Structure 1
Amino acid sequence: MKIMTTSGGAAGRAAVCRTSFHPDAANREELILNLYPEERFQTFLGFGGAVTDSAAYVYSTLAPELRAEVVGACYGEEGLGYTLARSHIDSCDFSTEPYCADALEDDAALERFSLERPGKYIFPMLDDIVRACPGLKLMLSPWSPPAYMKDSAERTGGGKLRPEYCGRWARYMCRYALEYRRRGYGVFAMSVQNEPNAVQSWESCRYTPEEERDFLLGFLAPELRRQGLGNVVLTIWDHNKERLFDRVDAICSDPEANACAGAAGFHWYGGDHFDALRLVRRKYPDKLLMFTEGCIEYSKGSHGAQTANAERYAREILHSFNAGLNAFFDWNVLLDMSGGPNHKGNYCDAPIMADIVAGELKYNLSYSYIRHFSRYIRPGAVRIGTTCYDNDLGFCAAFNPDGSIAAVALNTSDEEKRGFVRLHGKLAEAVFPEHSISTLLIGGEEA
């Protein structure tokens, strides 16, 4: 067994060791971490990040060799191994400016719809990513319809979609997916609305559960089918976990709406609530559970708290995975050193940040912690059964398509943890330093 460890408390110190399995002759009872490959749960789609207008703008300022480094660091097999991406329909807060593909109220046929501004920075970055990752799966999410479609007449500050524009907005959203697919971007999923319960100073739009259900069922799903986009996975909620089950149940208790909704998206800003995933998984086992956004907000956290920030990512991935997670999307794949640009000043951290003046990239510790999962739990992997002797030691595992087992152990305590990984009646000793993350690889490239 190969064990790769990053110690956050030691400024990101990395270590690799190997240990062997031996018969459990003494029937050891203490310090056991069990692996049960025959007990299988959800299939994992993959990991990814968001190609926002801001991320793509920062990317455009970099020298060619640094752009290649960013793509390799995120989508290369030796980097994070991402195979997914998320981007926004029209502008969001992580855009350099507000924009729409068609802001004209008198253009009912969308004849003047244009992705010239929306794709100005995003398309060149996506082109480079697709060359590195030809099978890229892209998710699109809207932050707000054009102002004229809303009761507030503003794209910012919440507001609601006016009923008379539901059909046009559905066609508008589908037009994005069609244009993206024509450019060779594999759009596989679409949110009904990003954060439909939020009133933000940036682009936002509110939907009650009934409004989201009615728009999904009466307009968006039928329009996708009419446009030949029936295989796009429609994703409901796309907001924090504390109301994930409530929203999914409100929509999917309707059999027709349930048939239209293929996934439930969620964020981390409202707290852990990992049991919300278990509730959805129990009642609606056919739904994909996708973490669609999370980042360290400078208004609530610190860029300097590297260990705490990295552990937040790892806790989210590990416990969500054990609760039924199918896909994980980080937020911006790249930002500048201020945590932007952001046209509303909502600055945040990213795993990779660019010093545009110095022409350098800075890798935060969160990058290494994400990699412990994303590099080794591959698309098509299946979560397997695990148990762990200590609740302070997070533990999850997956059976990969190549036959390897990738397990991740997260120690967020101030004390070293020791344990014995138990598999098929054999034990292998492992040591987990304080504030560390370890990937345990059994079989595959470790063999």
Structure 2
Amino acid sequence: MYESTISHHRMTQSIRKFEEKYTEKDVITISRAKKYQTIMGFGGAMTDATGINIVSLPKEAQDLLMQQYFGDNGIQYTIIRVPVGGSDFSTHPYTLDDTPNDSSFTNFKLAEEDYKYKIPLLKQAMNLSKTYPIKLMGAPWTAPPYMKDSKDYIGGGRLLDQYYPGYAEYLIKFLQAYKEEGLNFYIMSSQNEPVFGSAPGYDFNGMGFEPSSQAAFVGNHLGPSMEQNGLGNVKILIGDDQRPFMYRWVQIYLQNENASKYASGVGIHFYLDEEAPPEILTRIHELPGFENKFILYTEACQGSAGKFRGVRLGSWKFGTGYLSNIIDDLNNWSVGWVDWNMALDLEGGPNWAKNFVDSPIIVNASAKEFYKNPMYYALAHVSKFIVPGSVRIDMTNDSDFVKATAFETPNNQTVVVLLNTRDRETSISIKDEEKGYIANLKMEPESMITLVK
């Protein structure tokens, strides 16, 4: 048993014995009679801000931080999301070809940030990840401004029709440039937050697409161009936006035969999850034509809105909020969960648009140290144990207060992740239907537990 509590435990390990009968009235029963999705992995984003903060530390602290995320003694992230060019978590807005009307991409080149931060740290992460290979996921925030009707980096603008082929070429050039550096991508998003990117108030790097226009871009341009350039093995991600929008988005995509052919999965962001139940993910999974595609949570952060905006060091609510969301998503067919920035400063940046948020790790460069927030431990309870290739198994849960999810790993371990949502102690019994094991637990208030057999 691995336990994290608001009072003192942080992934504290203990050995528990199974018992012969239930001692609690609330019971969670797991069974392998029915199985669900296979896990792709868990991870975070290598933004410019992440890189800037990591390299601001002394080398020993840098290495320790990277070990925390990727080493065998850390939480063993297996997915890294990489912005194509700049995002709001950069020191300035930019793309990889800011020369006006450079439709031949004569001046296309990776940025200083790619060479100084992203590429070296990605290679270090891959060297640390000895047990499971890391999957890289690219995500563009905007096309070069000359390709958009707004002629600007920020949201509220759309890709002009005549630049659909050029934008596909731009993304392919990014993949090829990283390939020349020895880094191959597993997934390429067709656009970060295309719904939000249409909004005039979206005042940082962004670009809008309607689902039908993005389907045309993927089906007629990006997909075929990637195939022609030997990148047909890279999975194309659609959506990459908020849960309330994605059921309609996928429906429209699936009606476009070419887009459906090239799209491998849908990306979901967590910021508006309270406006739509997690069961929408199951409805997406059940859509005709979606059978061989995946659902992946691709971005999340706490401190992005309201009175709790920005960094809240040690916020336990931020941690339990993460784990609650992760459990709901896993129980509704998500194949993984990818956090946003892996490291930010004490303000929650740098961010050129002053869109400051929180992060699982906060760096204090002047003190030459970093702090692990409760969000880090929430992610640890899943990423360390629900490894790639794990399969979700069936579960019934009688409790109104304990959230749970259960998996069988490739090495035949059974993993159960639990969250006590109450602010007081709660008791639960867990039964393994096939093997007959019974575990009786008392969970501390708002505690997180992972059981491994």
TM-score by length of 1: 0.94
1:280 aligns to what?
284
Cross-structure match for 2:353 = 344
* Aligned-partner residue type, residue 131 of structure 1: N
CA contact (8 A) 1:98 1:343 kept: yes
Q: CA deviation at 1:106?
A: 4.0
Give the superposition deviation at 1:101: 1.4
- The residue correspondences of 1:414-433 to structure 2 (distance < 5 A) are 414-423=423-432, 424-433=435-444
- State the Cα RMSD in Å: 1.7
Name whichever of 414-423 and 68-77 sits farther off.
Answer: 414-423
Name which of 40, 54, 57 aligns with 1:59.
54
Residues 428 and 442, structure 2, Cα contact 8 Å, conserved in 1: yes
The Cα shift of 1:254 comes to 2.5
- SS at the partner of 1:237? strand
Task: For residues 223-265 of structure 1, give each alpha carbon's deviation from its aligned partner in whole angstroms, at most 9, with x where no partner exists.
Answer: 1111110011111110000111110111112233211110100
Match of 2:100 in 1: 105
Runs of 4+ in 1 over 6 A off after TM superposition: none
Shift of 1:11: 5.0
Q: Is the 8 A contact 2:155 2:208 kept in 1?
A: no
Q: Equivalents in 1 of 2:213, 2:73: separation in Å?
A: 44
Amino acid at match of 1:162: L
Aligned twin of 2:210: 208
Contact kept in structure 2, 1:35 and 1:385, CA below 8 Å: yes
1:94 matched to 2:89: yes
- Aligned mate of 2:372, from 363, 374, 377: 363
Would the aligned equivalents of 1:351 and 1:365 in 2 still touch at CA under 8 Å?
A: yes
TM-score (norm 2): 0.93
CA contact 2:24–2:429 (8 Å) conserved in 1: no
Q: CA deviation at 1:29?
A: 8.7
In structure 1, the residue corresponding to 2:98 is in which secondary structure?
Answer: coil
Q: Conserved in 2, the CA contact under 8 Å of 1:157 and 1:204?
A: yes
Q: Which runs of 5+ in 1 are unaligned?
A: 443-447
* Aligned position for 1:146: 144
1-structure distance, mates of 2:410, 2:128: 21
Indicate the residue corresponding to 1:225 in structure 2.
227
Q: CA deviation at 1:298?
A: 4.7
* TM-aligned CA distance change 1:118 to 1:102, over 3 Å: farther
Q: Deviations over 1:318-341 (max 9, x none)?
A: 110000011211000111111000
Instruction: State, as a whole percentage, how many aligned pairs show the same letter.
Output: 28
Deviation at 1:13, TM superposition (A): 5.1
Aligned residue identity for 1:290: L
In 2, the alpha carbon distance for the partners of 1:116 and 1:23 equals 61
The answer on 1:126 being equivalent to 2:122 is yes
| 2:329 partner letter | S
The partner residue of 1:238 within 233, 240, 243 is: 240
What CA distance in whole angstroms lies between the structure 1 residues aligned with 2:110 and 2:119?
10
1:404 pairs with one of 386, 405, 413: 413
Structure 2 residues without counterparts, runs of 5 or longer: none
Shift of 1:28: 7.9
Instruction: For residue 343 of structure 1, report the CA deviation from its aligned partner.
Output: 0.4
8 Å contact 2:36–2:392 — kept in the other structure? yes
SS in 2 for 1:440: strand
CA distance in 1, matches of 2:100, 2:113: 18
Query: What amino acid is the match of 2:293?
Result: K
Equivalent residue in structure 2 for 1:252, among 247, 251, 254: 254
Give the Cα separation in 1 of the matches to 2:44 and 2:101. Answer: 36
Q: Distance in 2 between matches of 1:436 and 1:94?
A: 32
